[in-house]
Amino acid sequence: MLVSQILKAKGDVVFTAAPAETVAAAAALLHARRVGAMVVVDEGEEVVGILSERDLVRVIAEKGTEALKLTVADCMTRDVIFADPGETVDSLMTRMTDRRIRHLPVCTDGRLVGIVSIGDLVKSKIAETVAEAEGLKAYISA
């Protein structure tokens, strides 16, 4: 299965944050939207980072409650790893496991077109495996 197929099924909505937003505001948005990460984009809609729950835990552990006053730019992950819509689920699962990351923004020609999580990939692998098993059962019983 390809990333583009996952995005077609789940949609292309990507929650974003501005680098100047406070950590407190970003944390509230993550909670309200029930997501584990937001892509950080500048005024020109260029991806400049990603802010994950893991980033929040790290900065709060380091700075305590003062971290909530920092900006997203102060604690986001700047070295963003991207996915391409034409990539396979298997290749992304390998990359995410090797890099220990749970969210990948998806870009086409430098334009943000979606985001996939490890949960999205696992869900698609399970669906693929179930479909394959059902196909084999049908073949055997025919």
pLDDT in tens, 11-51: 889 999 999 999 999 999 999 999 999 999 999 889 999 99
| Predicted confidence (pLDDT) per residue in 91-137, tens digit | 999 999 999 999 999 999 888 999 999 999 999 999 888 988 888 88
Q: What is the gyration radius of the CA atoms in the chain, in angstroms?
A: 18
The residue segments making up the domain with residue 16 are: 3-141
Give the CATH number for residue 9.
3.10.580.10
Number of structural domains (the chain) is 1
| Bridge-based pairing state of the strands 37-41 and 16-17 | parallel
**Count helices and strands in the chain by DSSP H and E runs:** 6, 5
Region 44-72 average pLDDT: 95
Sheet containing strand 47-52, strands side by side: 16-17, 37-41, 47-52
| Three-class SS state of 34 | coil
